Structure 1
Amino acid sequence: MRAEIRLLERLGVEGDAHAGQTVKHRSRVRIDPNQPNLRQVHLIGTELHAALARAGFDIRPADLGENITTQGLDLHALPVGTQLRLGSSAVVELTGLRNPCGQIEAFRPGLLAQVLNRTADGTLVRKAGVMGVVIASGVVRAGDAISVSLPALPHRLLDRV
């Protein structure tokens, strides 16, 4: 966990393995290495950490690969295109949901089942955070305020990216 990070417009988090204009995740690169990187920034709420703690998992900020940990913001309820202003100048636009993979299970056995769920009708519910792209550079520090700007209607629900 770091006290601050630098977000770089159209790239992501400075020094992060997933930074760049094109995809960096291995499974996405195998499909098409030239597709746009919609996963530059990963955000998780502290509420997930608390739920995991109640389930017996000691998970701390950044343990699940998130770049930014939020508090009091229902990230999963926000639509595609929502802009989050972080601190004084950084802006991240939400692109979709993180699709947790087997690496999370390797990190802590049983964890994958905690971040995936199914509704009564069988719909898969992903709870491992949201992804976004940086549309304005800036430094983000622990404790910075986050303001939310919703996109124009009609809203599209976040889906896996």
Structure 2
Amino acid sequence: MQGIVAAVSSNGEYSFTKPNRDSITLLAGLGVEGDVHSGVTVKHRSRVAQDPTQPNLRQVHLMHEELFAEVGEAGFQVGPGELGENITTRGLDLLGLPVGTLLQIGAEAVVEVTGLRNPCVQIDGFRSGLLKRVVGRDADGNLVRKAGIMSVVKEGGRVRPGDTVEVELPEGPHRPLDRV
């Protein structure tokens, strides 16, 4: 499987959206250089309040660009970085990847998929009603989270729009993604 990087985004301050950049630098074990969520331990405010010593399994947030078209059909205009992701991809089923998948991004960077983003009510603060479009139920009534995946940086490097994303699935039985 292969996709491409559609956009990259980062923000050094707490804000729901992240401005698009010409490039971002991933730092092994930390996340996106200069991003507010970079670090060995959790940086998301609600998780820091629970236990600030938890490992940061949310160093890099990836989102599939195809979600923007899906919510667009319901009247929501959303673009790269506006839902807080660091890397917007095109052509990959991010939500279908198992835990432990390695993503080679560009020539150097490698991230390991840790789980699903658990979208919160801040999404409705950005666009009222959008939360219902990124969290729903499947035909069997199971909760479906569509707001991207989270990962940790295994190998650092610069990431730019247009870079390829190569997928390396883990060995053995695959564990489906769950919220992290």
Q: Same fold (TM over 0.5)?
A: yes
* 1:5-154 to 2 correspondences below 5 Å: 5-154=24-173
1:156 aligns to 2:168 (yes or no) = no
What amino acid is aligned across from residue 94 of structure 1 in structure 2? V
Question: How far apart are the structure 2 equivalents of 1:120 and 1:78?
Answer: 20
Question: How far apart are the structure 2 equivalents of 1:117 and 1:140?
Answer: 31
Q: CA deviation at 1:121?
A: 3.0
SS of the residue corresponding to residue 33 of structure 1 reads: coil
What amino acid is aligned across from residue 42 of structure 1 in structure 2? H
Question: How far apart are the structure 1 equivalents of 2:90 and 2:70?
Answer: 13
Question: How far apart are the structure 1 equivalents of 2:173 and 2:73?
Answer: 36
What amino acid is aligned across from residue 97 of structure 1 in structure 2? L
User: RMSD value over aligned CA atoms?
Assistant: 0.7
SS of the residue corresponding to residue 85 of structure 1 reads: strand
Q: CA deviation at 1:142?
A: 0.4
Instruction: Give deviations 1:49-108, integer Å, cap 9, x for gaps.
Output: 111111111100000000000001000000000000000000010000000011111111
Runs of 4+ in 1 over 6 A off after TM superposition: none
Question: How far apart are the structure 2 equivalents of 1:49 and 1:30?
Answer: 31
SS of the residue corresponding to residue 25 of structure 2 reads: strand
Number of aligned positions between the proteins: 161
Q: CA deviation at 1:27?
A: 1.1
